[in-house]
Copies of this chain bind each other. A is one copy, B any other.
Amino acid sequence: MSEKLEQLKERLAEVADISNATSVLDWDQQVNMPPAGNEARGQQLATLSKIAQEKFISDEVGRLIDDLQQEYDGADTDEAALVHVAARNYDKAKRVPPSFIAEQAIVTSRAFEAWMEARGKSDFSIFQPHLEKVLELVHKYISFFPPADHPYDTLLDDYERGMKTADVKAIFDGLRPKQVQLIKAINSAKQVKADFLYKKYNEKKLMDFGVEVITKFGYDWQRGRQDKAPHPFETSFSINDVRITTRYEADNPLATLFSTMHEAGHAMYEQGIHPAYERTPLSGGASLAVHESQSRMWENLVGRSLPFWEHFYPRIKKAFASQLDGVSLKSFYKAINKVEPSLIRVNADEATYNMHIMLRLELEIGMVEGKIAIKDLPEVWNAKMEEYLGVTPPNDAKGVLQDIHWSGGAIGYFSTYALGNLISVQLWEKITGDIRNLDDQIRMGDFSELLAWLRRNIHQHGQKYEPQQLVEKVTGSKITPEPYVRYLKKKYSEIYGL
């Protein structure tokens, strides 16, 4: 390895250490921190972020990257990928002045508070002026970058590198009519019974069951832990310290279980990244969408499948004998896959989830293009909900105010959720081709070959490949909606007898 690469890696390792330390502080804030610790923690996080940024965009790092880019140009090695990703991140970081970051921190911190209040009072007008400021900043942010095909491209690229607005639109255009059609067909079919899912389920037993499941999946407890937190999330400070959180929702107890599988999916991805990428820009997942493909795969393609429950149903039935008394495996399976157009994205089922995302993408593009005024968002939101899902939010809290993302300036993020769903099935078609008896293995509670496949084809590569490149390398095609449509049709035709 060249001496310059060694030097660059050393500097980037330092930046990675600071950024991982920041993640520890953030995890602690969400999991442990006593209430009064908030202000000091904010200062600590701000200081660490500032130092990481300064260290990263130093002239020395810039010079090293410049020199190394020439040296490694075009090579298909880890080293070349490292230099390439570092160069890309450096260019992005360098374009955004520290004064903008400071301004953004203030604006989004106030916008977050306003959003909390607005949601609590279900009054969009409280949030509106703050979202307008956020949008101004978004435009300012876009202005730091060279003009793209579409201004939204610049935003999207931060969450899904290499992805274009036109690509996402084309994918969603292929998906939307088919998914709307399917939802209508399901709505007209005989509905499935799911009331037994909403009885009282003992929290500890549910948590224990979740732990049993993800242990079988292959989540490595020597390199992770699970805690309770207000929101389920996954975070990592190293490939050897990848943590997840969970929560108990009294009005939807089984959600605990599926969100545990979801977060474990994210976590197993992080645990599977090549050890050589530790403390380099190649650590972490390829993109938010690829990350989401992993969480969704374990949550839905595995965790909401019939073979999975053929293995686990006797166990959950033993743990919750009275709640599931008289409920057959088939009825349980149907219940956990019940389709019901609903108001809240995070609670949406597989058949309707993407519609929530498409709605948000259209609104975001409309905002960025200036074609939708912030003040009109609630109205547009409600109209689209009616159009796509046949439901209208009774108030803004259950409509336009439900998500945290915009308050933090995260415009461009949402579509990665839907893309993750699509990728998960696109990969699944390949996997079930490669592992012909996967269903049988799952029926036996054996997930080792599946995890090994994911490790080999996805996890180990970290950020080496761009998301579209990775998906194409593994499945032979870029992200495409057809596998997902096929999957939904097959699954729900069986469940609803379409």
Q: Are B34 and A224 in contact (CB under 8 A)?
A: yes
Q: Which residue of B lies closest to A241 (CB)?
A: B37
Q: Which residues of B contact A223 (CB under 8 A)?
A: 34, 36-37
| Interfacial chain B residues near A222, Cβ < 8 Å | 34-36
A241 engages B34 (CB within 8 Å): yes
A259 in the interface, Cβ–Cβ < 8 Å? no
Q: Are A34 and B279 in contact (CB under 8 A)?
A: no
Residues of B with C-beta under 8 A to A40: 20, 237-238, 240-241, 278-279
Across-interface contacts of A238 in B (CB, < 8 A): 37, 39-41
Q: A25-B24, A34-B225, A225-B34 are in contact. Are A17 and B48 (CB under 8 A)?
A: yes
- Interface positions of A (Cβ within 8 A of B): 13-14, 17-18, 20-21, 24-25, 28, 32-41, 43-44, 46-48, 51, 220-225, 227, 237-238, 240-241, 243, 278-279
B44 in contact with A13 (CB, 8 Å): no
User: Which chain B residues lie closer than 8 Å to A18 at the CB level?
Assistant: 44, 47-48, 51
Cross-chain pairs A/B with CB under 8 angstroms, 24 sampled: A13-B47, A17-B44, A17-B47, A18-B47, A20-B40, A21-B48, A24-B24, A24-B25, A24-B44, A28-B28, A32-B225, A34-B224, A34-B225, A34-B241, A36-B220, A36-B240, A37-B241, A39-B238, A40-B238, A40-B241, A40-B278, A41-B241, A43-B279, A44-B237
Closest Cβ neighbor of A220 among chain B residues = B36
Instruction: Tell me the bound Cα distance from A48 to B44 in angstroms.
Output: 12
Chain B residues with Cβ under 8 A from A43's Cβ? 13, 17, 279
B225 touches A39 (CB 8 A): no
The chain B residue with its CB closest to the CB of A223 is B36
Return A448 CB to nearest CB of chain B, in Å.
20
In the assembled complex, how far is the CB of residue A387 from the closest CB belonging to chain B, in whole angstroms? 47
Shortest Cβ gap from A283 to chain B (Å): 11
Report chain B residues within 8 Å CB of A28.
Answer: 24, 28
Give chain B nearest CB distance to A43 CB in angstroms: 6
- Closest chain B residue to A222, Cβ basis: B36
- A40 to chain B: closest residue by CB: B238
List B contacts of A51 (CB < 8 A): 14, 18, 51
Write out the residue numbers on chain B whose beta carbons fall within 8 Å of the beta carbon of A36.
220, 222-223, 240-241
Distance between Cα atoms of A40 and B442 in the complex (Å):
34
Which chain B residues lie closer than 8 Å to A44 at the CB level? 17-18, 20-21, 24, 237
- How far, in Å, is A197 (CB) from chain B's closest CB? 32
Report B-chain residues with C-beta under 8 Å of the C-beta of A241.
Answer: 33-34, 36-37, 40-41
Please indicate the chain B residues that have their CB under 8 angstroms from the CB of A32 in the complex: 225, 227
A237 to B48, CA, bound (A): 14
Given contacts A51-B51, A240-B39, A241-B40, contact A25 B33 (CB under 8 A): no
Query: Please, how many angstroms separate the alpha-carbon atoms of A37 and B36 in the complex?
Result: 28
In this complex, the member of A222, A224, A240 whose beta carbon has the largest number of chain B beta carbons within 10 angstroms is A240
Residue of B nearest to A17 (CB): B47
New A-B pairs, 5, CB < 8 Å, besides A17-B43, A17-B44 = A18-B44, A21-B25, A24-B44, A34-B223, A36-B222
Q: Determine the distance from Cα of A38 to Cα of B21 in the docked complex, in whole angstroms.
A: 13
CA distance A278 to B278 in the complex (A): 35
CA distance A220 to B21 in the complex (A): 27
Inter-chain CA distance A41–B221, complex, in Å, is: 17
Nearest residue, chain B, Cβ from A271: B36
State the CA gap A48–B223 with chains docked (Å): 22
CB proximity of A190 to chain B, nearest CB, Å: 47
Q: Which of A28, A221, A223, A241: most chain B Cβ within 10 A?
A: A241
Enumerate chain B residues within 8 angstroms of A39, measured Cβ to Cβ. 238, 240
A234 to chain B, nearest CB (A): 14
Q: How far is the CB of A7 from chain B (nearest CB, A)?
A: 16
Shortest Cβ distance from A137 into chain B, in angstroms? 25
Docked pose: A44 CA to B51 CA in angstroms: 14
In the complex, chain B residues whose CB is within 8 Å of the CB of A47: 13-14, 17-18, 21
Q: Give the complex CA separation of A439 and B47 in angstroms.
A: 47
Report the minimal beta-carbon distance from A34 to chain B, rounded to whole angstroms: 5
